[in-house]
Amino acid sequence: MSAENSTTVHSGLAAAPGRASGKAYVIRNAEDIMAVPAGCILVIRILHPHLAPLLPRVAGLVVEEGAILQHATTLARECGIPAAVGIRDARSLFRDGELLEVDGYTGKVIERHVDR
């Protein structure tokens, strides 16, 4: 992880190709899946298949689970949604509403800090 200017880069595994940016939305419990904002970057521990219907509304995917062979990889590739997996403690690192960029080619997630 490195920080320069007003960004922090988190490295994971490239799970599904493409690049996307948007506001983070962190899934912490079962209720959170009922209010996923359109165009968000979904941050989740693991993307189970039953959550697949939510994917068309998200711009990108950040997953804590650390393996390339997992549900999120399969689903994100099928839907053409850029995804990075293996971003350790992502649900603690990111806050709802902060700007994230997902690079599904490299597995990097760029956290853009807003200067105040």
Chain residues binding another protein by CB under 8 A are 29-31, 33-36, 38, 48-57, 64-71, 73-75, 77-81, 86, 88
Check if the beta carbon of residue 90 is closer than 8 Å to that of residue 43: yes
Half-sphere exposure of 9 (CA within 13 A, CB side): 10
Give catalytic status of residue 71 as yes or no. yes
DSSP classification of residue 88: T
Look at the alpha carbons of 19, 39, 89, 99 in this order and tell me if their dihedral is positive or negative: positive
Q: Which is nearer to another protein, 105 or 113 (CB)?
A: 105
Give the shortest CB-78-to-another protein separation in angstroms: 4
Q: Which is nearer to another protein, 6 or 67 (CB)?
A: 67
Q: Which residues are catalytic?
A: 71
